[in-house]
Chain A
Amino acid sequence: MSQAATAHAGVEPAETPLTPDSWGKLGMWIFLAGDAVGFGALLAAYGIMRATSGDWPDPYHVLGINLTALMTFLLICSSVTMVKALEWLGKGDRDRCKKFLFYTALGGAIFVSLQAYEWTHLMHRGLHINGNPWGASLFGTSFFIVTGFHGLHVTGGVIYLLAVLGSVARRPAAATYNMVEIVGLYWHFVDLVWIMVFTFMYLL
């Protein structure tokens, strides 16, 4: 890499001092920082709407906690399978890496399915994006927007994981290590955001 850079004067250096292993990693971190601002703005807006509302329903009792606690646990588990996938690829074991990438994607798919089940259940009980029987209509609005935005991230993550899984299957381990590490960053970020969403929207 550095040979190519010295060969062509004026070409930018092939290594970034922030993430010496790859530019892609830096790119993902910057994307995640931007995405985090998006989630931060949504959660801050949620807090402000809730603080200014006089009849905000008690989320703990309206939304229920058992299913979401299970979903939280599921995402933590899928983060573990994600680090295992990278660990095995680092040891050159592509088959185990593929297996763990698949488990991670499966965890994400189950998470989204449970969320769809939860949404359907809540809608049957009267929680809608424009109103609900328990109080402030913004309660439903913010609930569906924040959990929906996160659910879209999980859905995107599952597709992303399966695409990387395809690459790992086709190419040698050394060629895909960075790719798997970067999809891992994205996946752990989705887990991290859920930890925040779970606390602010369900437990508080």
Chain B
Amino acid sequence: MAGEHKHPNYMAIFWTLAILTVVELGVVFLPFGKFANGTMLCALALAKAAIVAAYFMHLRFETRTLGLIAITPLAIATLLVFVLMPDTFAVNHKTADKKPAAEAPAKH
């Protein structure tokens, strides 16, 4: 029970999360384009989520199998994106067929 594992330095984790949030807000204004900025924002969000799970939720100090249970939803969600991708393109084609090329809205 209590005191079985060493408590991590929670204030250091808090500051890491706060600083990463400020970095995220800064990334929005970087001039590297939507894709590069988006990749950075996703990486930062995943890093923050991993820190919360590992330290606040003590996942680092739990058994490995519990970690596997915790990571499964991320794998499923990632898989879901790929599974839905063919539909994404199908809808794009449909819209392209319906509208004249000139009227087709630019991506994003």
Q: Which A residues fall within an 8 A CB radius of B?
A: 17-19, 21, 26, 29-30, 32-34, 36-37, 39-41, 43-45, 47-48, 51-52, 54-56, 60, 65, 69, 72-73, 76-77, 79-80, 82-84, 87, 89-91, 174, 177-178, 184-185, 188-189, 191-192, 195-196, 198-200, 203-204
Contact = CB atoms under 8 A, between A and B. Distances in A.
Chain B interface mostly:
helix
Interface of B: 1-4, 7, 10-11, 14, 17-18, 21, 24-25, 27-28, 38, 41-42, 44-45, 48-49, 52-53, 56-57, 62-63, 65-66, 69-70, 72-74, 76-77, 80-81, 84, 87-88, 91-92, 95, 104-108
B45 A199 contact: yes
B69 A33 contact: yes
Contacts, number: 131
Contacts of A43: 77
13 contacts: A32-B70, A33-B72, A36-B74, A40-B77, A44-B81, A52-B88, A65-B28, A76-B18, A87-B10, A90-B3, A174-B1, A199-B42, A203-B41
